[in-house]
A and B are shown apart, each in its own frame.
Chain A
């Protein structure tokens, strides 16, 4: 009888064992392992010869890495700003009681249903000078039209911005629209009575009220930017030359192509830095908001929790 109750109490623990294994081995374990490898002199196989921060020093002497960081910085700023501005504009315009709202939303969002490889390949083709948009516009009677960014070392990174903004801004629109619809209608009525122009209302009232939505979208876009890989492979394979190299691709190349896993791991660990820098204030703000909400909440919430414990204790 006692054994049975103990066994029964252990069932929930048993049920979350897969979760515990995944968290401890696949998430915590792999990160620690990557950090450890980044401190060794491993080449194609992991070794235990520790060399301190040597790999990090090498990394920041590596021109390809430096270029990839620079690209990521340019890309992230442009990608995040453009996606947020376009996504917000689309949402604000769609929110004006337009006809065929459903159709428009479907059109703006469908690129997100496709894989980054597929959309990258389409854009690669449309941007290829001899045969794509450039050529088509020339045939329309603008023989001097030039649009060859994808083969231009200085401009290639912008083509990746164009393609990925096209892919992602529909999603941003969807999230912004949800944020806009969550705003109290009384505010619009009040501003109309005061005769404030719509654009001012958006800038000074609506956007600040949407801060949580904006923060979520920002976090989402910035982590997506850090992970940028598929689109680059599909569109340019890092080229021309190494002009569109990005950190995620640098890491993959050194892991599997160039058999330098220690250097690659050092690069991977460096990718954690911006993630932590972004996540920490976000989590802090979230927790802060939640504890505020909790202290303001009525006792109803507590009532709900206490009897539950009693019931489960009483039943066993």
Chain B
């Protein structure tokens, strides 16, 4: 799991060409292009639907472009769609998600870096056993842990609160963060660390002056993973965040599965895109870093 999990896709080597014949090449591209169209289909439908009016949607031409483009559904999704009883759109969810994502990114990264550093350079006794249990723990279905965590957080009065949901995200991201940093640090030459020790560097000094400054690439990967993972979370937000802090994903589900009134599909699709915008932009902007992060995070 460790080594293969953290991969980036190598570039194709030159001087390689298989499946030589012309017909085979055409078949190859036909397959890839139709697959690409299938993958893009939901995105396309989401986009065109969000610009249509409800009258046009009722015509049932799912694939057609809007006859008149309108941003009304986007404004409605943002500021007036009903999530359950209140009708203030999903903008509240947006700020809630931000409020959850920021600390749930910073704290797990800090802890992950600290754990990885201690594990790969200092190796305190028993730490490897802890790490092993943590790695196995990464595979425990959350349902096994949820109720005890609810009781624990309720006992310290943090259930249904912002600190509560941040703690929960920190707990569930600990395996991946620790693994990422541990593997990264074990690839750093140990001679560097030894030299710093001989020069009298202590635990914190080596961390802050030597190790962390070299950690920028892995911190970026970890941050992309955390932002995406926490932003896209539904289950934990639903259970632990409390009504005041519901993240965007939970509000989105409430908007769409609210059973009262007619379903405004254009508003629903606009709300879905708005909810997906942050991770999608992150994905398109960060490219290969993102791939590294999610293929590593996929082991979660």
Residues of A within 8 A of B (CB): 8, 11-13, 15-16, 18-20, 22-23, 25-31, 33-34, 37, 46, 89-90, 93-98, 101, 104-119, 121-126, 130-133, 135-136, 139, 166, 170-171, 174-175, 177-179, 181-182, 185, 188, 198, 212-213, 216, 219-220, 223, 226-227, 229-230, 233-234, 237, 247-248, 251-252, 255-256, 261, 264-265, 267-269, 271-272, 275, 279, 282-283, 286, 304, 307-308, 311-312, 315
Contact = CB atoms under 8 A, between A and B. Distances in A.
A311 B191 CA distance: 10
A125 B269 contact: yes
A26 B272 contact: no
B212 to A, nearest CB: 13
19 contacts: A11-B202, A16-B115, A27-B134, A30-B148, A33-B147, A33-B148, A37-B147, A98-B28, A113-B294, A115-B231, A115-B249, A131-B60, A136-B63, A219-B1, A230-B234, A233-B253, A234-B234, A256-B239, A264-B147
B140 to A, nearest CB: 6
A28 B133 contact: yes
A133 B131 CA distance: 48
Nearest to B151: A46
A196 B34 CA distance: 28
Instruction: Name the 3 nearest CB pairs between A and B, nearest first.
Output: A115-B232, A27-B137, A136-B62
Interface in B233-257: 233-235, 239, 249-250, 252-253, 256-257
B141 A271 contact: yes
B268 A125 contact: yes
A130 B143 contact: no
B238 to A, nearest CB: 9
A220 B144 contact: no
Contacts of B149: 26, 30
B95 interface: no
B31 A171 contact: no
A37 B256 CA distance: 35
Contacts of B298: 171, 175, 220
A272 B137 CA distance: 11
A297 to B, nearest CB: 14
Interface stretch (B7-15, B75-83, B214-222): B7-15
B194 A122 contact: no
A125 B144 contact: no
A250 B275 CA distance: 27
B137 A23 contact: yes
> In terms of DSSP, what is the predominant structure of the interface of chain B?
helix
Given A8-B202, A30-B149, A111-B39, A93 B32 contact: yes
B232 A178 contact: no
Nearest to B19: A96
A310 to B, nearest CB: 9
Contact of B249 (A117, A124, A125): A117
B144 A26 contact: no
A308 B147 CA distance: 44
Contacts of A33: 147-148, 151
Contacts of B43: 110
Given A26-B171, A110-B39, A115 B194 contact: no
Interface string B186-199: 00001001100110
Interface stretch (B65-73, B118-126, B158-166): B118-126
Contacts of A109: 283, 291
B63 A237 contact: no
A107 B16 CA distance: 23
B260 interface: no
B106 interface: no
Task: Identify the interface centre among B62, B194, B287: most chain A CB within 10 Å of its CB.
Answer: B62
Contact of B115 (A19, A105, A227, A264): A19
A233 to B, nearest CB: 7
A19 B174 contact: yes
Nearest to B16: A97
B85 interface: no
Interface in B258-287: 265, 268-269, 272, 275-276, 279-280, 282-284, 287
